Structure 1
Amino acid sequence: KTSVSNGQHGTKYAINLFLEHQWEDNKWGRTKYTIIKEIETPFEEVELAITNNSNLSARLMNVTLGMFLPDVELVNLTIEGATVAVPEAVQHGYQTYEIKYANGSKTYVIQVPFDAPSIKKEYMKVDMRAYTLNVTLTFITHPTSDTFSVPVIAVSAVKDAVLPSARGFCDGRNLHLVITRGNVDQNWLPFISDWNLTPEAVQKYNYSLRDNGTHLEISVPFLSSHLNYEVFHTSGIKASLYLTLKDGNTLANRRDFSISCRFSPSALIQCLPNGTVVITAVKVAGIADLDTRLFVLRDRLCKPSLVTEKTATFKFNVNTCGTSRKFNSTTMTYENDVLYFRPGNDTPVYQLKFACLYAIKQTVDVQYESKKNPPPSIKPGFGYLDLSMKLFKDKSYSESYQKLEYPVVKYLREA
């Protein structure tokens, strides 16, 4: 029979021992002595076998638990912390079957669809997903009404993972990355340079993040501290956005995407009509240890007005900061350089040349003549005139009287 000890399932064997003792003598004849005694073995724990017979094509978890003696009955299932009776488990997608064998023993079969809410789905690798059934079964024994529970955990690997994909494009001022969701990334988080794209952070850096459940679209301005820039060419500057999707629980890298675009050099400079120039220099790959705070113009006293980790922005007038000027018949050109010098070195390791061209739309003839200044005139007036006098001790005028020697007393005969 089934026995329960400290919540553990096991068995005990019991027999009714019948002992008959007979003897015979001359006085009493044949005598019988009968003893009937029940003997029970100690409790022996029995390990139950859990067999995973899941049907992958039918997307059905199929788990068999047993063997049990006839005096055991399944009464409850605990699903995601909620305990339900066997008939109610159907509402959660759980079907249970009792299978009896000729010797009286039996097993129980639990069937659950892969897509049931309580089935945990986890991405494994490449195109594989793991489906995990985690349910606790509670049994009762008859006639003692003892109960015991058996946790059932079964994992099935299914080749049905659909990874997210992406496409990118650029307009004149931004880089855009559109990610099409798969069936494994519901809990994956977008990161740029190990920086989580939370709504608060997106707003802080003036980025754009839109998620409608099936697509995730990210837009980043061309001038951003989270982009990578490559060497300048006359055709433009190459900017790259690298995005990583990470597991929301372990932060393990799951998927990498990138978009690179070449932007016109004009995106870095503004030449304003009032003669103000706004130029942004970017930190390019290949030059180690660039500190954007130390960028300067030709006049090294001209420092950036705005600095980020990847950019330095200067705002100045064309008549300052060592700016040179050239004329031709149609334009006036102002030129300068953004420079970076390593300490103790007068040769720049970074140089960004830039120019502002202003069109000369028209010329104006101006008549000019000089006017003669009127001759000076003297007008009488009244006022106070302060005079000071210094006395010398001899005719050579080499030594004068000091303040402490005044007043000086001299008689006319001594003069």
Structure 2
Amino acid sequence: MIGKEKIRQLSRQSLYGQWTITHKISRDVINFAMSEPHFPMPANIRNAAQEIVLSEDLSYTDTAGLPLLRELIAQAYKLPDTGYGVSVTGGASEALFSGVMALSEPGDEILIPVVGNPSYEVVVSLAECTPVRYAIQIDKRIPILPERIYSLFTDKTCMIILNTPMDPTGQVIDKIVLENIADICLEKGVLCMIDESYREITYESKAFSMSGYNPNVITFTSISKLFSMTGWRLGWIIGSEELMETVNFLRNYSTTCAPTISQRVAVRILEGAGSEHRDKILSILANRKKLMRELLAQHEFYAATTPLGGYFLFLNYQEYCKKTISSIDFANLLLEKYKVAVVPGIYFGEEGEGYIRIAFATDEKSIQEGFARIRQCLTDLNKKN
């Protein structure tokens, strides 16, 4: 049963929750810890939002979302004409929460990636399910091995959660690997839930989605990452009509519907208002990724992931530090003395200890200065030993 004691217990266990609550990031800090792009919302979309406020109906929508928006999403994902549904949510977080809560039973086992977004484990625990962790190969181009995942399946397994491109490593799971896993899930009667929040931000391969691949695949995403709309709280979850009916029943009593203003703005974006901005931001992020790789070489940081998607880098700082220092202590030191904010690797699971997550969606000057400060911090630490 979900209650205040369970929530308090999970809150105490959440290392990231404790870290973010106790650290205020001031303006003089280089912020590599953010999970949102360092770009303003496009002017034409802001203008469209103003127009919508003045001229369009902003009352409740269907729980599943505006019919036109759902139709545009279905077209964008090339969903089959029948058999699949879209539910528009208050961001990817609500999609994850609603999907897990509605489609599992207490006592079920749900496979989650480690390292991975800590939201997965928290939501699975709130659903009174058992999180079963599968390891990510942080230092490999192929981050997961399907056979290792299959070995974790039991008669209690109801779902696996996948994420591509990955937070915090920036790795991308190959489409063939995802199809292999989805096929086995269908055969075993296991749901395959895929977090595609960074789907459109890829650098070496064309963006793809697993939406509509088979009836056991559920995908969810957010519109906020690429269009700097994190506060607008809009995303969606896609799955079979039967599964979405269950999700919508829960959502009717939890959120009623996603914000109507955000839905109407999303309609404008999917009708074409966001195309120019999308191309511009992808080009900027690709250039910043290139700069980041140059800085890694310049500062001789070779023990780091190569992001193929998203805008995160997972750096093994311990490889360059003679003294063993926890990722929380290292992040605290960087913030307090060197004015650089990063996310401790332990936040993403025990396998993340010794790493920090760096977001390179900020401006180029900050990226250059931030890497110099991280190198200086490590140099100073090594001098003390």
Tell me the TM-score normalised to structure 1 length.
0.19
Q: Which has the higher contact order (CA 8 A, sep 6+)?
A: 2
Tell me the TM-score normalised to structure 2 length.
0.20
**Greater strand share, 1 or 2?**
1
